[in-house]
Structure 1
Amino acid sequence: MRTGTPLFPLPTVLFPEGPLPLRVFEPRYVDMVGRCMRDDEPFGVIRIEENGKSSSESQLCRIGTLAIIADWFQSDGGLLGILAIGSLRFQLHATARQPDGLRVGDIEELPPEPQVPLPPEFVSMSSALQHLIQKLDRLYQGIETRFDDASWVSLRLAEILPIGLEHKQHCLELEDPLERLRYLRPLVRLSR
């Protein structure tokens, strides 16, 4: 159990090994990024539940992803930009607020998914993913590709497909990559 992990609640889902470019402007998050970079520590990206409440009162999903800062830059307007890469998934057990409003959590890291050979029935989904990643070249530049790994393919499809956040969150929570691919198959057909 990790205690006091800084949390970055967002209306998005970060997947293991996936890129997340962010512009950081709130002082509490600028400070958090600075501490994470200085201490070489991850922060937790966790989706805000869509319940109509303000972000300060909103509920957080129970599963999120630890993020590692891979790169940073200062924009002309003075905003801090970072590129975070998803690491391990985690389960959120409890949260607290620091005096500056930053949420921190007690989390349990979930084991990484094993690499699973891609069954022939999902080869067309892997081909569709290859085509999508070529279109998104800049964002995925430098990220290792494994188009023959069911886990990697299913996670990339879940993050790239234009599907609702509830579908993305469900995919993050699934522990079986083949089950995730079966779940995504009709959504891949709809997005074509």
Structure 2
Amino acid sequence: MIRPPVCRLCRAAVNDKGISVSEQIALFPLKTVLMPGCHLDLQIFEARYLDMVSRCFRQQQGFVVVGLEQGSEVGTSNLRFSAIGCEARIIDWQQRDNGLLGIRVEGHRRARLGKVDVAADGLVTAEAQWLPEALDAPLEAEHDELLALHAALQEHPLVSNLQLPPVDGSQQALAWQLAYLLPLSLEQKTSLLALTPPLERLDRIGDWLVQMQA
């Protein structure tokens, strides 16, 4: 059985009665981190994931993209992944020129991952506790440089092809999209995913950018 490491930064989601809310959900371990509101294109060819996508279509449910810290994206041997991931919902699909299924997913809720199981077909599932989100806030003048950086990133063809939704003056949207698009390490991106306040996420991104330019 594969067990993810404990994430000390994560908190369990609770319902309006203060009771922890969780459900068993399929995992898609990748060497990248999906962020809420962001888009990711995936090519599906393994039988376990083709079956998973089929169930997602039929049951109108998602799966969790989780950062792969050790092991291969293909197979289930010696996997170690982050203890927090992001729910992915399929928003588009197509048959690619190579005959494989291509899907585009959008990030939704953040999930803290608990007990892990591996099905007979190799599909990894985990108990997911959905994390609450902080209230959004408008961007301030101090965020102008980050907003300009975001605009510059949008000019790249690979980014423009993702058709990310407009930021529209939102701290939350700007923070998630910068965390997703900037060339940060898997560990850095995972730590940003674990943060709840958008202003704290923007501040940390700003600090890292200063360090990168030093």
* TM-score (ref. length: structure 2): 0.82
Partners of 2:44 and 2:38 lie apart in 1 by 18
Aligned twin of 1:71: 92
Q: CA deviation at 1:111?
A: 1.9
* % identical aligned pairs: 34
Aligned twin of 1:118: 139
Partners of 1:112 and 1:122 lie apart in 2 by 21
1:155 maps onto 2:184 in alignment:
no
Structure 2: segments with no counterpart, 5+ residues: 1-20
Whether the 8 Å contact between 2:62 and 2:90 is mirrored in structure 1 is yes
- What secondary structure sits across from 2:155 in the alignment? helix
Aligned twin of 2:16: none
Whether the 8 Å contact between 1:9 and 1:46 is mirrored in structure 2 is yes
Aligned twin of 1:183: 204
Aligned twin of 1:62: 83
Partners of 1:32 and 1:188 lie apart in 2 by 38
Q: CA deviation at 1:112?
A: 3.1
Whether the 8 Å contact between 2:26 and 2:123 is mirrored in structure 1 is yes
Whether the 8 Å contact between 1:126 and 1:148 is mirrored in structure 2 is no
- Cα offsets for 1:92-136 (capped at 9, x unmatched): 111101110101111111123422111221121012102211322
Aligned twin of 1:164: 185
1:83 maps onto 2:104 in alignment:
yes
Aligned twin of 1:47: 67
- What secondary structure sits across from 1:162 in the alignment? coil
Partners of 1:184 and 1:55 lie apart in 2 by 33
Aligned twin of 1:138: 161
Whether the 8 Å contact between 1:46 and 1:65 is mirrored in structure 2 is yes
Which moved further from structure 2: 30-39 or 113-122? 113-122
Amino acid in the other structure paired with 2:207: P
Amino acid in the other structure paired with 1:96: D
Which moved further from structure 2: 99-108 or 125-134? 125-134
Which moved further from structure 2: 128-137 or 20-29? 128-137
Higher helix share: 1
Q: CA deviation at 1:146?
A: 1.9
- What secondary structure sits across from 2:82 in the alignment? coil
- Pair 167,147 (structure 1): closer, same or farther in 2 beyond 3 Å: farther
1:33 maps onto 2:18 in alignment:
no
Partners of 1:81 and 1:91 lie apart in 2 by 27
Query: Greater relative contact order: 1 or 2 (C-alpha under 8 angstroms, separation 6 or more)?
Result: 2
